[in-house]
Chains A and B, each alone.
Chain A
Amino acid sequence: MEQQYPVLIVLIPMFTALAITLIGWFRPVLCQPLAVAGLFGSFCSAVATLVQVKNTANGVISYHLGNWAPPYGIEHRFDGLNGLVLVMVSFVALLVAIYAKKPVEKELGGKISNFYTLFVLLVTGLLGMTISGDAFNLYVLLEIAALTSYALLAMGRGKAYMATFNYVILGTIGACFYLLGVGFLLIKTGSLNIADMGTIIPGLGGSNTILIAFGFLMVGVWIKMALFPFHGWLPNAYTYAPTATSCLVAPLMTKVSVYVMLRIMFWVYSAEWIFEVVQWQSVVMAVAVIAILMGSFFALAQRDIKKMLTYLIVAEIGYMVGGAWTGTSLGLTGTIYHIIADGLMTVCLFMVIGSIVYKKGSAQFESFKDAFQTMPWTMSALVVAGLSMIGVPPTCGFFSKWYLLGGAYISSNYVYMVALLISSLINAVLFIRIVETAFFGATSEEIPDPHDHAVRQIDESPLSMLIPIWMAAASLVLTGLYTRDIVTKWIQPILPGGLI
């Protein structure tokens, strides 16, 4: 049974989705408990496999599907990098499944069983993408995740249709570029297995096709993770989506695309080849810096807090791409740690904003007036998440910025360091503005009324929404406190060679 844990991570949600379709079509009230149960099973398998991989010799667990040895069959490769991402994805999905009960009942009418089926299948696609060791299997699961996310985002109706159509067009371009890159690699190496390609490519010498394949793979993955200048689809698509959808999709989809980029960069190709033969480092660092600054400045200009958060996602992607392309092991450690930290921060923030929308109807600044008096627990969680975004110890945001700044300093990327610090400052301004409106009962343009001593009633969000918010906020602090364990036990053993 212990050997089957790696495949159970993907199988349990898949069977749960089928059960939700077959049972939930006739009894909609059972959909949400089934979803929570399935995602909990997947989370347990992910944690169990993560504990197992720590005890293996070379830090990799390989599972052969159909019992065919790779490269003739498909394999699942589980190591420290995707183990951490799998645990984060299943944990975030579990939290949102618990949280989603009330918003879905309010916003989605009779389509409850469809929503939960698509929800669990999206998580299945993301988990499968992360654990797969085969490049074409990754493409199929990428398309499952993409198709379910198109349907989930379009359920917002109204303005969501145009935003989702834009996402469909851009997402298809991204996935097709990825497929074209895999085709070029197949034509030169003859294999589809990631580890196998990694051993064949160094023997091919300076081949033009391999370089162009790298280009197409990178551009495809950058479109999927909304790196500047391909970020146009993200703000609109995530703002007009239903509440539970944006809580699920925003933390996860772009981060798993960052993981795919790391896999391609360091396990298919090697660090020596990227940083010495392909001289793109300065261009990509410049793009990352522009992404960080542009995301932060556009976030300052928004009146709708949900749209502000989506621009912050664009900035965070800039952090991660810049960290990976510095070419240092500290930078790569920072990027891997930031994948987990950012997933947890984003889910906490989106769930808080979702509660405000559920209670007050919209996420404009006006909805936050006196929020500290009416919704104290929810707003305290917002403060914790805000501290993590700014980078205050002991939350995890501080440690990821620490590693990223260290990596940038060692490789002399001073512009990137300055961009990171400016973006922290802008995050501080953004969150202090929200906290000020919530505390003093007036937006920044108005003057609070000094004679208004009315005590507002506490109208807190329901318990099914509050518990996941606080679990996410607590996990931010816990992840920060256990940073040394996470980095030494799982991240450092798998860092590839050839980095500074």
Chain B
Amino acid sequence: MKTLALVISLLMGSILVVSLDDLPAWGDVNSPANSHVSAYYLDNTMQQTGVPNVVTSVLADYRGFDTMFETGVVFVAVIGIMAILRRDQRLEDIEKVERPPYFPPDPAITGVAARFIVPFMQIFGLYVLAHGHYSPGGGFQAGVILGASVILLAMTNGLNGALSRLTEDWFVLLSGLGFLIFAGVGLACMFYGGNFLDYSALAPLMGGEPSVAAVKARYHAMLWVEIGVTFTVMSAMFAIYSYLASDGWMDRGL
């Protein structure tokens, strides 16, 4: 098997090396990838959306449909891992399954330190979400930071403590709710007469002159969809951790 793998990867590598002369030089300002579509985004994002962080504006507005399905991928990961790992009385006899011995964490040092750090992590996560229009950040990054804060609590003070704060019902509900917020904003745009995810159709909600209101509508709608993304990613991070760490039992972890 190893020789077959070696042959295949050497073949793939040599095919790729053959193509190297044809690729543009590293750092070329005028290569096709840098000039056709992305130059349009850099030129027009400020006057069409009012957001200086070009990554956020393209992610949430020009290619918002991709981002919605990316949130969907995170949601599918939660539901899929739950479907495979969660212990169910009707499928196997739970009483008879052998469980490895449990060593509860001692919260004397790490637990206390974590309890001091977690509030600051959460405030920083909310800052990253809210300031995503002006600095690197946005929904996914904020969701990961918030999820990490809960996981830190679970690792140092025991999984049952963290699970009692963010129960299984809640994180299924939150992950679905986050995706629903994103898709709901798009659906609201359809009700106001535009295409799906056409935020400028929400201009009547902002009031004022139509062209200015369209830019304002895009600016604010981007924040709403990022909030939806944050909910889903935060609950997904914690859900994946707790299912894998507790092997489906959902009562005690590593």
Binding site for B on A (CB under 8 A): 4, 7, 11, 14-15, 18, 21-22, 25, 63-68, 71-74, 108-111, 114-115, 117-118, 121, 124, 128, 136-137, 140-141, 143-144, 147-148, 150-152, 154-155, 157, 184, 186-192, 207-209, 212, 215
Describe A's contact surface by its main secondary structure: helix
Quick one: closest A residue to B77, CB to CB?
A147
Nearest CB of chain A from residue B38's CB, rounded to whole Å: 8
A114–B79 alpha-carbon span in the complex (Å): 6
- Asked if residues B69 and A140 are in contact (CB atoms below 8 Å), the reply is yes
Nearest CB of chain B from residue A225's CB, rounded to whole Å: 19
Q: Given A21-B176, A111-B88, A190-B32: A72 and B83 within 8 A (CB)?
A: no
Q: Which of B70-112 contact A (CB under 8 A)?
A: 70, 72-73, 75-77, 79-84, 86, 88-91
Q: Which residues of A contact B169 (CB under 8 A)?
A: 25
Q: Given A144-B73, A190-B35: A67 and B200 within 8 A (CB)?
A: yes
Q: Which of B105-137 contact A (CB under 8 A)?
A: none
Q: Which residues of A contact B16 (CB under 8 A)?
A: 212
- Asked if residues B66 and A74 are in contact (CB atoms below 8 Å), the reply is yes
Answer whether residue B199 sits at the interface, using C-beta atoms and an 8 A cutoff: yes
Q: Given A11-B196, A73-B63: A155 and B84 within 8 A (CB)?
A: yes
Q: Given A147-B77, A190-B33: A21 and B172 within 8 A (CB)?
A: yes
Describe B's contact surface by its main secondary structure: helix
Quick one: closest A residue to B68, CB to CB?
A14
A115–B33 alpha-carbon span in the complex (Å): 41
Answer whether residue B15 sits at the interface, using C-beta atoms and an 8 A cutoff: yes
- Asked if residues A209 and B23 are in contact (CB atoms below 8 Å), the reply is yes
- Asked if residues A74 and B63 are in contact (CB atoms below 8 Å), the reply is yes
Binding site for A on B (CB under 8 A): 15-16, 18-19, 21-24, 31-38, 40-41, 61-66, 69-70, 72-73, 75-77, 79-84, 86, 88-91, 169, 172-173, 176-177, 179-180, 183, 187, 190, 194-201
Quick one: closest B residue to A117, CB to CB?
B79
For this complex, 8 residue pairs linking A to B, each with C-beta atoms less than 8 Å apart, are: A4-B196, A7-B195, A72-B40, A72-B62, A147-B80, A151-B80, A152-B83, A188-B33
Q: Which residues of A contact B72 (CB under 8 A)?
A: 14, 121, 124, 144
- Most chain A beta-carbon contacts within 10 A, residue among B36, B40, B83, B187: B83
- Asked if residues B37 and A71 are in contact (CB atoms below 8 Å), the reply is yes
Q: Which residues of A contact B66 (CB under 8 A)?
A: 74, 136-137, 140
Nearest CB of chain B from residue A194's CB, rounded to whole Å: 14
Q: Which residues of A contact B76 (CB under 8 A)?
A: 118, 121, 144, 147-148, 151
Q: Which residues of B contact A117 (CB under 8 A)?
A: 79
